Structure 1
Amino acid sequence: MARSKLYDKQEFTRLYLWRHPEVLGGTEGIVYGHTDTALSSEGAKQLEGIAAYMSDKKVSAIYGSDLQRSHLVAQAVGGGQQPSREPIVDKDLRELFLGQWEGLSYQTLREQYPEEMKARWDDLAGYRVPGGESLTDLARRVAPAFERIIEGNRGGRVCVIGHAGVNRVFLAGLLGMPLERIFRLDQAYACLNLIDVFDDGVPLVRTLNQKIIS
């Protein structure tokens, strides 16, 4: 019998893990980490879609970062619950801090930081962006955050409004992927990842990068 069938009979904690909706400048290749950028008009529509989708999914808790592109969605999801729920803010769920690269486009980075960009691709896990974080740094703060979420909601259903980098390093850990390969995991704006973590600690990724918001 397939492992997924065996685990269907066990207790589990379910994570509805979303990437936040589209942000201003996102489609132009602008990179944001800790910069608190607003949602685009398309992102505002996606926010409504996420809240509507989650409205009939009764959750025990809602989590997001303190950045508005995450927190506003978490608030909307909480407002759609019966009864309403106040989201829990966890700064450890913030996106990768990009230091001197915050708010720049990929084109600008290629033109102004060619050596740094090459160094990053040569050591994707360990390279620390000037004034910022490495993917290893990100994983070290994200993994304990998700451990707290899962441990604090055992057997429950949880909604997390994450960021692309945050989601990737968490998913890579679940799948046993090295950080050097996390960009093989796509995380589109407003995508959903559905994950069940069983009582024995074994995770089952049921859906990945699912686009359900039109």
Structure 2
Amino acid sequence: MFLVRHGATDFNLKKPTVLQGNGINGPLAEIGRRQATLTGEFLGDYALDTVYASPMVRAMETAQRIVPGRDIVPVPEIVEADVGRWLGRDWADIQSTDPEAYRLHQEDPSIHPYPEGESATDVARRTVPALTKILKENLGKRVLVVAHNIVIRVMVAHLYQIPLKQFRTIRQDNCCVNVIRYQAEKAELVTCNSTFHLRSLDQ
């Protein structure tokens, strides 16, 4: 499985970053489209049997640019986290206006959800089984899955057996590639947050 985070959106590029969650469903920014194209060039050496993606616009657009013309299977279970009442806000604003909820969430996002939204545990409960099912159903095949920051972080935490309390220590850049191998009924993370294919964008 090539598990890829979607390309950058305008909200990803804001300074400071604004929380999109599953409530803001916009397209890729220009640089996000370029990231997706470069990811497609990088993965072009691999014959992909099936392509899956979160049904959110930014994930579907990324998948379409990675493998133009291919059918994409939407997977509703891997949409981004519900960030509740913090939707469309940045962390500095949240910390200043909602300090206690912010403190609790930063302390342990696995048990303290985004207010009126999901916790990391909630996200893991729906996404880890969905991604594991894709692995099991595609034995001997190569698949592409395009998903989101928190979704991929909780999957990586699951594979590395990192407590969900610490899932934010796992970095996932826009259009990074993670490689998961499934064999002998065990999933193994082979590559995490690879962005070598995007180096030309830093120049």
TM norm structure 2: 0.91
1:69 equivalent to 2:71? Answer no
1:161 equivalent to 2:146? Answer yes
Of 77, 83, 87, the residue aligned with 1:102 is 87
Residue of structure 1 equivalent to 2:126: 141
1:174 equivalent to 2:163? Answer no
Count matched residues: 195
1:120–1:127 Cα contact (<8 Å) kept: yes
Paired letter, 2:165: E
1:33 equivalent to 2:27? Answer no
1:210 equivalent to 2:194? Answer yes
- Runs of 4+, deviation exceeding 4 Å: none
Deviation at 1:78? 3.3
Q: Which runs of 5+ in 2 are unaligned?
A: none
1:152 equivalent to 2:137? Answer yes
Q: Which structure's CA Rg is the greater one?
A: 1
1:78–1:87 Cα contact (<8 Å) kept: no
Give me the CA root mean square deviation. 1.3
Paired letter, 1:187: Q
Deviation at 1:178? 1.0
Of 87, 103, 107, the residue aligned with 2:72 is 87
Paired letter, 1:206: V
Paired letter, 1:64: A
1:127–1:134 Cα contact (<8 Å) kept: yes
1:18 equivalent to 2:12? Answer no
Residue of structure 1 equivalent to 2:42: 53
Q: Which runs of 5+ in 1 are unaligned?
A: 1-14
Paired letter, 2:177: L
Tell me which moved more, 122-131 or 174-183: 122-131
1:197–1:203 Cα contact (<8 Å) kept: yes
